[in-house]
């Protein structure tokens, strides 16, 4: 196994455990706080190497979502959201491609791509993932107000957690 595979395997396990053992247990009291859901596991999809084949990204993302579903006792909600996020990732990377193109040897990290690019990329992925997740969870657009409110509030807290993680662990590969 090469170092990229080992790094991503450790990141996969670490993010699943962080999401399932710590962030799932965070509960906030009050009416407004019920909309706070911190989801950090999509960071794994965000940081996958650029040269990863789309089918591999989608398959691993499905396993990621399924692993998180085991902690949440949900039936495929996280798996569906992670798979959809992985599917849209390739198109988003094509849209956000810098003028000189990507160096396919690396992952799209904050250090390699720059903070503004990484924030834009991570924000779009997280917004999509959260909206898709809450839409599948509600399973109807009758609750569109709750879906949008859940998405927006959770986006703020998830992005704060994501940026703290990226700042602390500083993924380079």
**Is residue 173 over pLDDT 60?**
no
| pLDDT tens by residue, 83-103 | 999 999 999 998 988 777 777
Q: Which domains does the chain have, with CATH numbers?
A: 3-169 (1.10.1760)
Q: Would you place residue 32 in the very low, low, confident or very high pLDDT band (cuts 50, 70, 90)?
A: low
Task: Note the pLDDT tens digit of each residue in 74-85.
Answer: 889 999 999 999
Q: For 22, phi and psi rounded to 5 degrees?
A: -110, -60
Q: Which residue has the higher pLDDT, 125 or 32?
A: 125
d(CA 116, CA 3): 27
């Amino acid at each position: 196994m090469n170092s990229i595979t080992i790094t991503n395997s450790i990141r996969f396990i670490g993010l699943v455990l962080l999401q399932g053992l710590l962030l799932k247990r965070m509960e906030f009291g009050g009416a407004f706080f019920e909309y706070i859901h911190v989801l950090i596991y999509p960071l794994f999809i965000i940081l996958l190497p650029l040269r990863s084949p789309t089918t591999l990204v989608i398959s691993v993302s499905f396993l990621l979502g399924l692993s998180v579903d085991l902690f949440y006792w949900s039936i495929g909600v996280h798996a569906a959201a992670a798979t959809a996020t992985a599917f849209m990732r390739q198109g988003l990377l094509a849209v956000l491609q810098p003028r000189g193109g990507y160096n396919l040897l690396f992952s799209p990290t904050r250090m390699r791509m720059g903070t503004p690019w990484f924030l834009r990329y991570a924000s779009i992925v997280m917004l999509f993932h959260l909206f898709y997740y809450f839409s599948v969870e509600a399973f109807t657009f009758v609750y569109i107000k709750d879906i949008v409110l859940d998405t927006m509030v959770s986006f703020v807290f998830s992005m704060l957690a994501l940026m703290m993680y990226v700042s602390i662990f500083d993924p380079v590969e």
